[in-house]
Amino acid sequence: MITIRKSNDRGHFQNDWLDSYHSFSFGEYFDPQHVGFSALRVINDDKVAPGAGFPTHPHRDMEIITYVLDGELEHKDSLGNGSVIRPGDIQRMSAGSGILHSEFNPQADVGTRLLQIWLFPQQKGIAPGYEQINVPAAERSGKLKLVGSPDGRDGSVTIHQDTSLYASILKAGESAALTLASNRTAWVQVAKGAITLNGQAMNEGDGAAVRKETTLTLTATADAEVLVFDLPPLAN
């Protein structure tokens, strides 16, 4: 069963430097029908104005993935980490027992677009941590490339949750497929372009909650960039 969450149905927040769409309830946006899916809690599609960003703020007990689509994002945290995240980079921050961080667009004249993703950890109170890798476009092209996993296999970032994250760049007409175990759920997020998911049309910004499917087939109907989360079963 595939339930599509249309881009235009998401929550929306905008001020003078941030334009953000929320797949799930976040901040002042609350929808009791969309407060998360399986281990997923947040998918925010953020556009950050040049020279602006999120000042230092706290997190705890959350796995936070940052995936930059366009531009750059500068990260600093209370562990002493500092980096600039660009397209192709996957950043994982484990908030654990508590962490402070900031995120800014360091560019003076170019906006930044990113997906910020939060997942519940399997265990609360772990030591906070940080990890960043680069996955070149060539490694994501025409396939579903593993970029996050519970054990960090195949060079992916380590997510402290029973979740595997795949990224794909598909040219129009290209397909990629993923096999799911019979008890698994999944979420598909179209970051750019347009696809069909098992024959169902999805456009940029759309997400899809997947239950009781054992194969996911993604076919690009326009050049596309897609994230796929292989997630734990839903709680009864």
Query: Residue by residue, what is the 3-state secondary structure of the chain?
Result: CEEEECHHHCEEEECCCEEEEECCCECCECCCCCCCECCEEEEEEEEECCCCEEEEEEECCCEEEEEEEECCEEEEECCCCEEEECCCEEEEEECCCCEEEEEECCCCCCCEEEEEEEECCCCCCCCCEEEEEECCHHHHECCCEEEEECCCHHHCEECCCCCEEEEEEECCCCEEEEECCCCCEEEEEEEEEEEEECCEEEECCCEEEECCCCEEEEEEEEEEEEEEEEECCCCC
The answer to whether the predicted template modeling score (pTM) of the entire model surpasses 0.85 is: yes
Q: What is the pLDDT, as a whole number, of residue 82?
A: 87
Confidence at residue 67, expressed as pLDDT on a 0 to 100 scale: 97
Q: Which CATH class is domain 2-231?
A: mainly beta
pLDDT tens for the chain, residues 1 to 236: 999 999 999 999 999 999 999 999 999 999 999 999 999 999 999 999 999 999 999 999 999 999 999 999 999 989 888 899 999 999 999 999 999 999 999 999 999 999 999 999 999 999 999 999 999 999 999 999 999 999 999 999 999 999 999 999 999 999 999 999 989 999 999 999 999 999 999 999 999 999 999 999 999 999 999 999 999 998 75
pLDDT value at position 236? 59
pLDDT attached to residue 77: 87
